[in-house]
Chains A and B, each alone.
Chain A
């Protein structure tokens, strides 16, 4: 009984962080037309691992989180998406960056993470457009 309990305990103890991949701390900025993006979220979507996400502050700065706050992202080359839709009510939102950046398949953005990085710069552009308010046909 005692021996089997010890074996069980030893088998389970290292399992606390077991299966979780190695992450490296990454922080940086999102710029749109060389100015900080003042509202939005950034997400890196690795293949075969959990995505890393962060909220942008008023200067466009972010610190990525995968499992624990600020633990960074799994190394590799990952698609990047930036959602910059600020809800103004239940049915209107202001887009601070073009919609295409919100989807990793259409954003055209990627980032290569090969080690800790404290100044990953993601550059967006309006390409002549500008910030707009969208009305969504869905009430509360």
Chain B
């Protein structure tokens, strides 16, 4: 080969190498550009663009033209009777749903009816207050007849006027005459006007209960509160007007009044992906619209076998104006001022800090959720269950199951609501106090925990309707508890998603989630030894160098 030929060949090899390296770098850079360009665009499986505004179907009936709805209606059940004269099967359908039964089938007869939490602890013996959020009328105690059709409250969900309000302590009834409660007067709603304007459910009707869980705006849920009614896109990409403009029932759709999606049967994973009509009956998951691989980056999609969508896309809870309750200490309740009057104090943000009837609260907003391994199975607690404390000395009232090794588990965000609540100290069991009522045994009358718990335990058995008493020793003690609320609403724009290093760092948000190797968090155990070797090497070469310089100076002198 001539030298000219050889040098040409050499140049070609070099060019090929440089081209190959540049190609890889350029490909990587282009990939990055694409990711940036598509940020904040909804990633749906359909290639169709999301419409600017959603045109929803108009009803085929004008209810104001129905003679039977002209009223007047004295009570809610009277109105329902009118509804059922046409919608003959509607009440039967409703009575088959958890909106009616509050029986979530955790086990035999265990559900919202008998479950204990660390807010107002339990429904049993406190029904008239709690059932102000029931889709029915008149549920005052465990003798309630769940088969009476006219007790279904149609308009709690189908009111479109915004004037229908269930009275807070009337077992699901609205006020029928002007009544004072909570510092304001509740006027009776115009049931005939409401009946003539019924329609689809709305964020307002669903939110009337679900935004006010725990008895007030955002009290129970960090991801559900009235801020969603006027949400900005930053707060919720789905429900904001400048976002997708969606309503609750767009995801929580259903047939025969059976609504998809539940805070009990949650789906941290949904491998079936996009749901078509008549699909898997689980149409309220992220994957139902977004599919199982919605991200532009393969590496991000590869996270979905272990990380729930919500974990990255709900960076903080209660990101709007409304605070959510994070701590409730019942043990401090019952203090009165010098005049014997009840005390209410508020913190600097205007949230109640202490009330005589309930004890001490703490509130927070825009805070990072807690994270747990979760496979959809929740182990709930009922009155009389033994007290079981975890390593932190806290009882998990609804322990979430799951682990890294379980293919159905995902790392899932929760609001961990903590508090201190009474127990049966003699039997070391979970107590359910009778709080609400006009009788002397009610804690909010007597402020005596002993009589309140005794009265609560009288009717606190499982199943709910049986009214089997739970043994009570007569000795009140206290325990710290935690109750988990799923975080699944208030999805942030993709640009606000949790950043990689929030988890992939030594003390990141997943610092306490065990069972697996997390790059950036783990693997540093022997780093001190290795950096020590590096430092030792540096010392050796520096000493070596100095000795060479000294040696050569000595020789030259």
Tell me, yes or no, whether A binds B.
Answer: no
CB within 8 Å of A: which residues of B? none
* Interface of A toward B, CB cutoff 8 Å: none
